[in-house]
């Protein structure tokens, strides 16, 4: 899975496209871990291009949230499609992960 990154005001925004499921979730986690720097104030996953996330993908988000919390780095997801948002709502992840409407909102909150 290809990811694109951009740093704005100390916040790393990571764009991904397609599906996140059991077949690519480990690779997705590794590629994110490779780009996150200790200097980042915050990390946001921009899911504007993601149309599906399975429970294996949610687990990656949970792992990232735990790792970043230990480093006291802010974390959130943004630009969720309606189907991905529904998955966050059903699983209760919306109660434990910060969700922002857009990348700009995420940068504003996490910088």
Partner 1 sequence: MASKERSRRSDKEGQEQGHTYPYKILVVDDEPDLQPLILQRMRRPIRSGKYEFVFAQNGIEALQRLAAEPDIDMVVSDINMPQMDGLTLLEQIPSVNPNIRSVIISAYGDMQNIRTAMNRGAFDFVTKPLDFKDLRHTIARTLRNLVEWREALASRDQLVVLQNELDVASKIQQSILPTEFPRHENYEVHASMEPARNVGGDFYDILMLERDHVGLAIADVSDKGVPASLFMMSSRTLLKGTAIGLPQPGMVLTDVNDLLYEENETAMFVTVFYAVYSPMTGKLDYANGGHNPPLVIHADGSSEFIPPVGGIALGIARGIPFAQGSLTLQTGDTLLLYTDGVTEAMNAESEEFGAERLQAIFLENPPTSAQATNDAVFAAVHAFAGDTPQSDDITCLSISRTSG
To the nearest whole angstrom, how small is the minimum distance from the Cβ of residue 19 to partner 1? Answer: 9
Query: Is the separation of the CB atoms in 57 and 23 below 8 Å?
Result: no
To the nearest whole angstrom, how small is the minimum distance from the Cβ of residue 108 to partner 1? Answer: 26
Lateral strand order in the sheet of 74-78: 3-8, 11-20, 42-53, 74-78, 98-100
Site of interaction with partner 1 (CB under 8 A): 21-23, 51-52, 54-56, 58-59, 62-63, 66, 83, 90-93, 95-96
Residue given tokens 């109660």 in the structure block: 95
To the nearest whole angstrom, how small is the minimum distance from the Cβ of residue 7 to partner 1? Answer: 26
């Amino acid at each position: 899975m290809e990811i694109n990154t951009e740093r704005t005001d100390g916040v790393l925004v990571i764009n991904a496209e397609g599906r996140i499921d059991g077949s690519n979730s480990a690779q997705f986690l590794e590629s994110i871990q490779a780009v996150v720097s200790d200097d980042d104030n915050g990390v946001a996953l921009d899911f504007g291009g993601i149309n599906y996330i399975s429970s294996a993908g949610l687990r990656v988000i949970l792992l990232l949230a735990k790792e970043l919390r230990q480093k006291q780095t802010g974390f959130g997801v943004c630009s969720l499609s309606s189907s991905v948002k529904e998955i966050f709502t059903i699983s209760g992840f919306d109660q434990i992960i910060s969700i922002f409407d857009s990348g700009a909102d995420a940068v504003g909150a996490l910088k």
